[in-house]
Amino acid sequence: MGESSQKGIKIDGILWHELDRWLKTQDAKKLGFHAKAQFATQAVRELLEQNKKGKADEYTRINRRLNSIESKLNEALGISHSIKKPAHREKRSNNTASVNE
């Protein structure tokens, strides 16, 4: 037989008992939960996804802010917006500002 893909974790005793009580409720059944492992797996999965989304949202927010600053700087310096932007900010030519400078 192959090795199980499931691993064990420990949680606080109070949470263990609260989860045990909650799993016996109609709310838990309506949501499709019937086991502690199933609940814990879903909770961890959702927290990890939220973390990934939060990082992606932060990157997008920073990138938009940098683009706004770059646009205002270009306008103030009289640089045409028709200049093609390089793929990476780190590889800018000498006539434009770099994030690393």
Question: Residue 41: pLDDT above 60?
Answer: yes
CA neighbours closer than 13 Å in the CB half-sphere of residue 82: 0
pLDDT, average across residues 33-37: 92
Question: Residue 51: pLDDT above 70?
Answer: yes
Fill in the DSSP letter of residue 91. Answer: G
Question: Residue 96: pLDDT above 80?
Answer: no
Average confidence score pLDDT of the chain: 79
Whole-prediction pTM value?
A: 0.52
Residue, of 35 and 61, whose pLDDT is higher? 35
Please tell me the predicted confidence (pLDDT) of residue 7: 84
Domain boundaries, the chain: 34-79
Q: What are phi and psi of 29, to 5 degrees?
A: -65, -40
